[in-house]
Structure 1
Amino acid sequence: MAQKAAKTLATRNSARLRQTHLITLGIHVLFLLLSFTLRRSLSYTPYILLSLPALLIEAYLDILARPSYHPNGDLRKAGEDLEAKGLTEFMWDILYWTWINLILVVILGNRGWWLYLVVPGYAVYSAAGVFSGVKGMMGGLAGGASEGDAAGTGTTSKRQSKMEKRGGQKMVYR
């Protein structure tokens, strides 16, 4: 019963790595087989350049999560969790997108390589959204009141307008 969680993690990691390696092998063999027989016009330069990061990520995940055992068969190290959030999750996304892209290239031909740009395009879109949000938050901190407020033409809050209607103090901007 000792180290039950570690043994469960080791079993789960081994099964997931074996499944990942078999899927990767199957997709690459299918791609190469179909590119040599049916679609002779497929370019191999994008195949190598765009598949290499996924293959390196898969090798890294294997090194990271492969359980190790003592010579007597006891578990030495269960490996890292392959279901972890953050960078591990991002690496799985790249691996899955590479698989999908290879299948689409077999179906659509060389034009399918352009679909690989969806990921960096989405990253640029997300970064632009974050940048504009941060810029909006920092706008009030940069120089105090804006020029429109300094001239007295800015909008007032509900509380300020009610006070002015009752004849209370009028806000004077300097």
Structure 2
Amino acid sequence: MAQKAAKTQATRNSATLNRTHLISLGVYIFFLLVRTSLFKRKLLPFIVITLPAMGIEIWFERIGRPSYTEGSSGKELRKAGEDLEAKGLTEWMWDIIYWTWGCTVFATLLGDWAWWFYLVVPAYAVYLAFTTYSGMREGFSGLNAGAGGQGTSTATPSQSKRQAKIEKRGGQRVQYR
């Protein structure tokens, strides 16, 4: 049972990568078949939109595919690959792949104007950046209160928020037994 966690991750990564490649292949072949047989769809937006997803898939293949070596007892796991279910950037990359698949299917079924759905991703990124910037700016405005500026805090500078809440409720109550 040596390296059980690594073997489990290697199996999970292999299954995830195989499934991802098959779904991508199916979605892209579906688009190309509909484009050539039923409707005339533009090929340039398809190529431009799917390039990031294909690049991410290649990246996942490089970092996530387990590698094996031939040993005395058969194939032995050499490297399990990175965790493809990690939070943060990896999770965001999966979202890009899923969104690309959705936009490709929408463009196949609804027409070339559906490629505009792909702009939701950068628009959401701009929204997140703006709200983060606004929150930071608001947070930094409280720092000026100690330097003679006007802060947005309602509590006095010597009180914490917890102390202000306790005082608002009528002070601290002590129970004697």
Range of TM-score over shorter length = 0.7 to 0.9
Q: How far apart are residue 107 of structure 1 and its match? A: 1.5
RMSD: 2.2
- Name 1:7's counterpart in structure 2: 7
Name the residue aligned to 1:25: 25
For the pair shown, the structure with the greater C-alpha radius of gyration is 1
Query: Which residue of structure 2 aligns with residue 62 of structure 1?
Result: 61
> Aligned with 2:70: secondary structure?
coil
- Of 131, 141, 154 in structure 2, the residue corresponding to residue 129 of structure 1 is 131
Instruction: State the 1:141 CA deviation.
Output: 2.6
Match in the other structure for 1:91: 93
1:45-91: per-residue Cα shift (whole Å, max 9, x none)? 11111101100100100110100001231111111111011111111
Given residue 4 of structure 2, which amino acid in structure 1 is its aligned partner? K
The amino acid across from 1:37 in the alignment is: S
1:145 match: 149
Which residue in 1 is equivalent to 2:52? 53
Q: For residues 126 and 133 of structure 2, what CA distance do their matches in structure 1 show? A: 10
Distance apart, 1:140 and its partner CA:
3.1
Instruction: Show CA shifts across 1:16-56 (max 9, x none).
Output: 1110000000000000000111111x111111111011001
Stretches (4+) displaced over 3 A = none
Match of 1:118, as an amino acid? V
Which of the numbers 79, 82, 96 marks the counterpart of 2:81? Answer: 79
Paired residues in the alignment total 152
Q: TM-score, normalised by structure 1?
A: 0.81
Deviations 1:105-157 (A, max 9, x none): 011101101000001011111111111111111123346324xx9xxxxxx86
C-alpha distance in 1, partners of 2:148/2:23?
58
> Pick from 110, 113, 123: which aligns with 1:111?
113
Return closer, same or farther for 1:45/1:95 CA change in 2, 3 Å cut-off. same
Alignment-mate amino acid for residue 149 of structure 2? A
Aligned partners of 1:38, 1:22: CA distance in 2, in Å? 23
Cα distance in 2, alignment partners of residues 35 and 14 from structure 1: 31
The answer for unaligned runs of 5 or more in structure 1 is 150-155, 159-174
Tell me the secondary structure at the aligned position of residue 104 of structure 1: helix
Q: 1:170 matched to which residue of 2?
A: none
TM-score (norm 2): 0.80
Q: What is the DSSP-based 3-state SS (H/G/I as helix, E as strand, rest coil) of the residue aligned with 1:39? A: coil
Structure 2 gaps of 5+ residues are 157-177
